[in-house]
C-alpha cells in the first residue's frame, strides 16, 4: 500500500509539473472550488494521564492551529469524552468548548494554546461518579475544530484526507489512569491494532511487543507486510515512569522499497494500569503526526 501511494504521489507531481504551462486556468478553477480545512497539530502532550486518586488534576495537550488564514479560520475547539469501561466505549458527551481567542501566537506566528480537562470535569459531563470506573479503564478524548463558517473538522469528519484528517492531525487521544511502574515488563506480548493512520496495519491485526529492560520495550515489525526488513526493524519505546509519557525511535530505517527507507520517531503515552500503547509517530522522510494505537490481547 505504501509503495503504491508513493508511486502515485510521484506520478501525480510529474503530471502536474508537465501540465502547468497549458492547464493553468483549469488548475485555478479547481482550486477555486476547494474548501480549505484546518489542523489542530499536537505540539506536545503535556500531561497524558489522569490521576486516579485526585479528580482535580488534568489531562492536557498543547495545540497549534494551522489553516490557510494563519489559524484564524478556527473559532472554537469542542472537547468530547467517552468512558472506556473494560474495553467497551460508552456514550460520548461534550465536556467544554474552548474559544481560540484564548490562544496566542507561537514561534511560527500560528495560534498555540493548551487544551486541558480535569478528571472531575470529565466525569461530571459524562454523568458518572467516583466508583463508576476503576484504574484499568480509560477515556477517549475527541476534539472538534469549529470553523468560522460553521464547518467542523475532527477525526471522522467528512471531506478530510483519506487515512486521517487534514495534514494527519489526530484530533483524538486516549487518557489513561496512572499507576506506579516498577519496569516495562507489562508491555510484553501480542497487541491488537485499534488505529494506524499510516495504514501499515488494519484495525484488529496484531503486532508483537517485546520487553527489553528497565522502562523500555520494542514494537516489532514482524507482521508488517509493506516493508522489506520486517525481521530486523522495530520501534523502541521508552517510558517516563513519573507520568506514563513515552518517546519512540526506530533502530533502523523502515524500508518500503523504491529507495524509500525512512526512520521513525515519535512521542505518546502508555496506559500504566492497562498496558495500552498510544503513540503519534513521524516518518521522517515525509509524514509526521500519524496516530498508532494498540491494546494488549
The pLDDT tens digits of the residues spanning 25-44 come to 543 443 343 455 788 888 88
- List the one residue out of 138, 157, 137, 133 whose CA is nearest residue 78: 157
pLDDT at position 259: 94
The H or E element spanning position 120 is helix 119-126
pLDDT at position 106: 87
The mean pLDDT value of the chain amounts to: 84
pLDDT at position 153: 85
Q: How confident is the model at residue 70 (pLDDT cuts 50, 70, 90)?
A: confident
More confident residue, 102 or 19: 102
CA angle 289, 295, 297 (to 5 degrees): 150
Least confident of 81-85, 133-137, 154-158, 206-210: 154-158
**pLDDT tens readout for residues 114-154:** 999 999 999 999 999 999 999 889 999 999 999 998 888 88
For residue 31, the SS3 value is helix
C-alpha cell at 85: 469501561
**CA pair distance 177, 163, nearest whole angstrom:** 29
**pLDDT tens readout for residues 165-189:** 333 457 888 888 888 889 999 999 9
pTM greater than 0.85 (yes/no): no
Amino acid at each position: 500500500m505504501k509503495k503504491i501511494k508513493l508511486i502515485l504521489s510521484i506520478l501525480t507531481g510529474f503530471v502536474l509539473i508537465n501540465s502547468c504551462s497549458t492547464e493553468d486556468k483549469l488548475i485555478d478553477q479547481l482550486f477555486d472550488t476547494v474548501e480549505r480545512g484546518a489542523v489542530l497539530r499536537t505540539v506536545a502532550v503535556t500531561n497524558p494521564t489522569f490521576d486516579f486518586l485526585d479528580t482535580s488534576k488534568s489531562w492536557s495537550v498543547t495545540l497549534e492551529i494551522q489553516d490557510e488564514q494563519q489559524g484564524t479560520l478556527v473559532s472554537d475547539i469542542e472537547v468530547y469524552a467517552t468512558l472506556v469501561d473494560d474495553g467497551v466505549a460508552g456514550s460520548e458527551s461534550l465536556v467544554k468548548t474552548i474559544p481560540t481567542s484564548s490562544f496566542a501566537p507561537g514561534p511560527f506566528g500560528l495560534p498555540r494554546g493548551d487544551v486541558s480537562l480535569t478528571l472531575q470535569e470529565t466525569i461530571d459531563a459524562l454523568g458518572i461518579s467516583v466508583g463508576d470506573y476503576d484504574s484499568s479503564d480509560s477515556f477517549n478524548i475527541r476534539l472538534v475544530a469549529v470553523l468560522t463558517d460553521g464547518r467542523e473538522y475532527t477525526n471522522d469528519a467528512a471531506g478530510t484526507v483519506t487515512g486521517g484528517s487534514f495534514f494527519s492531525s489526530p484530533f483524538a487521544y486516549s487518557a489513561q489512569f496512572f499507576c506506579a511502574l516498577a519496569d516495562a515488563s507489562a508491555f510484553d506480548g501480542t497487541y491488537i491494532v485499534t488505529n494506524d493512520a499510516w495504514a501499515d496495519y488494519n484495525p484488529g491485526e496484531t503486532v508483537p511487543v517485546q520487553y527489553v529492560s528497565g522502562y523500555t520495550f520494542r514494537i516489532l515489525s514482524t507482521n508488517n507486510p509493506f516493508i522489506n526488513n520486517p525481521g530486523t526493524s522495530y520501534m523502541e519505546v521508552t517510558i517516563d515512569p513519573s507520568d506514563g509519557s513515552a518517546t519512540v525511535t526506530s533502530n533502523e530505517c523502515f524500508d518500503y522499497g523504491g529507495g524509500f527507507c525512512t526512520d521513525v520517531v515519535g512521542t505518546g503515552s502508555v496506559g500504566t494500569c492497562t498496558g495500552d500503547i498510544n503513540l503519534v509517530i513521524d516518518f521522517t522522510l515525509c509524514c509526521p503526526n500519524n496516530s498508532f494505537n494498540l491494546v494488549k490481547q
